[in-house]
Amino acid sequence: MDFYNGKITRRLNKWLRTQWIVPKKRTQLEKKNISILCNNCIGGFILHDMGLRFDSPTINMFFHGLDFFDFIEHFEYYINQKLIEIPNPKYDLNAPDYPVAILRGGADYKDIELHFLHYKSFAEANEKWETRKARLHFENLYLIWTFMGMAQDEKIYARAQNLPIANKVIFVNHPIDNEKYPDFFYIKGFENQIGTGQLSAFMNLKGERYYDQFDYVKWINNG
C-alpha cells in the first residue's frame, strides 16, 4: 500500500483519478440531494468525488468507538443538541491539536464525543456543524460505518445491521455472511489488521482508492 501512496505514485494516482475515474462516476450519478452520515472521513471523500455539497454535519470529523452507534440510534435527539467544547477528550490520552466537542446525552442517553480533526478552532467546527446540519436531507439519509482499528464480534455486527437508517453500508476487513448481514461489505486488503485501514489510500496505480471496491454510485442511485 505504501508504494501506491508515495510522493510520486500518489501524484500519478490523483491525476488518473481526476482525469478518468471521477468524471465517469459523476456521469453515472442520478441522485444529487443526499446526506451521508459517517463515523469518519470516507463520507467526505465520496461526496467530493461526486461533486456534491456537504449536506451532513458528520463530514470532516470522526467518532471514536461506538459513539456513532448511539448517535444514530437516537439521531432525532442528538441532532437537536448543541455542541459543547471540551478540553480533555475521554478517548485520547494525549490532548489533540484540534477541537473536540460533545453532544450532551442528558438523563436518558450518553454524551457523544466528536473529533473535528480538520478544523483549527471550535468556532470554525461549530459553524460548519450547524450550517451542514441545517442542510440535512432527512428523506435521503445514507449511512457509512467503518470498522477501523477496533475489535469486531457478533454483538456489534447485529447492532450495526440494525442501525435505523435504511440506506447503509458497513465496511469490514474480512469475508462475512451477507445473508445474515446484508448491509455489510468486505473491503479487501486489510485482512491482517484490526478492522479496516485507511480506505482513502490508493490500492494500485490506476487511481483507485480502497473504497472504490464498493459501488457507491449504484448504492446512492438505488437508495
pTM of the prediction? 0.94
| Of the candidates 106, 111, 128, 110, the residue with the CA atom closest to the CA atom of residue 119 | 128
- Digitized pLDDT (tens) for each residue of the chain, 223 residues in all: 589 999 999 999 999 999 999 999 999 999 999 999 999 999 999 999 999 999 999 999 999 889 999 999 999 999 999 999 998 888 765 668 899 999 999 999 999 999 999 999 999 999 999 999 999 999 999 999 998 767 678 999 999 999 999 999 999 999 999 999 999 999 999 999 888 989 999 999 999 999 999 999 999 999 8
d(CA 139, CA 158): 24
| Of the candidates 220, 114, 221, 112, the residue with the CA atom closest to the CA atom of residue 168 | 220
Q: Per residue, what are the HEC states of the chain?
A: CCHHHCHHHHHHHHHHHHHHHHHHHHHHCCCCCCEEEECCCHHHHHHHHHCCCCCCCCCCCEECCCHHHHHHHCHHHHCCCCEEECCCCCCCCCCCCCCEEEECCCCCCCCEEEECCCCCCHHHHHHHHHHHHCCCCHHHEEEEEECECCCCCHHHHHHHHCCCCCEEEEEECCCCCCCCCCCEEECCCCCCCCECCCCCCECCCCCCEHHHHCCHHHHHHHC
The amino acid present at 111, given as its one-letter code, is D
What confidence score (pLDDT) does residue 93 get?
59
What confidence score (pLDDT) does residue 1 get?
57
